[in-house]
Amino acid sequence: MEEHMTGPVTWSIKALDTGTSVVEGSVLTYLRHCGEKITIPRVMWVLEGPTTIVVDTSVNPEGKPNEFMNESFERSREQIPENALKAASVDVKDVEYVVLTHLHWDHAGNCGLFPDARIVVQEEELRYAIAPGRFFRKGFLSPESGWPIAPPYIVPNLTTVRGEHEITPGVTVVPAPGHTPGSQAVVVQTASGPYVIMGDSMMTYDNIESDCPPGYHVDVDACMESMDLLKSRSSLLLPSHDYAVFRERPVTLIAP
Ligand SMILES: [Zn+2]
């Protein structure tokens, strides 16, 4: 049998712009930029390689979680997740895994779009999301928060993992607690080296440049340790809410 040279499996990354919010600066960087209004994207990521993986599922319009959270949120027709996926040439039936960095309303809102995928979250995150501390209840659309319907991440195809876990060759989840107790980042092997999709462990590049954790967190010390850990895995870091990610290579921007 003929032998083939096979290198490591590599993936490409697409960033889908699925909505726009204006937030107060200290939400993004702890005790910095207080009072400043900053416009941020709501990003869904698509990883393409031997199979298709979605990371985070953005804000669900049903029941208007943005109004429930009292956050400004705008979404054009093109930014509706179904339309953004189509524009990125992604058929939801081809999505084999959905990785949720954490279960906040703006990251786990559209799990129902992927009934055939295995949806992966850290066990610790699911435990906390169901019965969070009082301050954090609304952000998880927890049953105790007054949110009127089931949280959007409670779906039959949700599966939990504990700790670092290879989803498939070239894509590994790494626990990154701090923003939430069970936050995880996703290390993706690309032709340009490993990229880390940080979730809200890093909301903007300013978190790393100023060595400042995200403003919204359950444990500020854990936030710093998680940033250190992820920096040690790669220098190619992709924050969750910074338009600059759309200029990173090899990330392809899919936006209206
Ligand atoms: Zn979050």
Mind listing the pLDDT tens digit for each residue in 112-155? 999 999 999 999 999 999 999 999 999 999 999 999 999 999 99
- What is this structure's pTM? 0.94
Q: How far is the CA of 202 from the centre of ligand 1 (A)?
A: 10
Q: How far is the CA of 217 from the centre of ligand 1 (A)?
A: 8
- Asked whether the CA dihedral 29, 201, 78, 62 is positive or negative, the reply is negative
Q: How confident is the model at residue 2 (pLDDT cuts 50, 70, 90)?
A: very low
Compute the distance from residue 47 Cα to the ligand 1 centre, in Å.
20
174 alpha carbon – ligand 1 mean position (Å): 16
What's the CA-to-centroid distance between 184 and ligand 1, angstroms? 11
Topology (CATH) of 12-255 = Metallo-beta-lactamase; Chain A (3.60.15)
| Nearest to 23, CA basis, from 11, 15, 35 | 35
Backbone angles phi, psi at 49, to 5 degrees: -160, -130
How many Å lie between the centroid of ligand 1 and the Cα of residue 186?
A: 15
Q: Is pLDDT of 65 > 60?
A: yes
The whole-number pLDDT of residue 62 equals: 81
Average pLDDT estimate for 190-206: 95
**Chain-wide mean pLDDT for the chain?**
93
Q: How far is CA 125 from CA 162, 179, 206, in A?
A: 10, 11, 25
The pLDDT tens digits of the residues spanning 208-250 come to: 999 999 999 999 999 999 999 999 999 999 999 999 998 875 5
Which positions ≥6 away from 186 have C-beta within 8 Å? 45, 47, 55, 99, 101, 167, 171, 172, 173, 174, 196, 197, 199
The structural domains of the chain, with segments of one domain joined by +, span 12-255
Flag whether pLDDT at 4 surpasses 70.
no
Residue 253 has pLDDT above 80, yes or no: no
User: Over the stretch 68-87, which tens digit does the pLDDT of each residue have?
Assistant: 999 899 999 999 999 999 99
3-state helix, strand, coil in the chain (%, to 5): 25, 30, 45
Q: For residue 20, is pLDDT > 70?
A: yes
232 CA → ligand 1 middle, Å:
22
Token reading at 19:
């909505």
Residue 256 pLDDT exceeds 50: no
Could you tell me the pLDDT band of residue 172, with boundaries at 50, 70 and 90?
very high
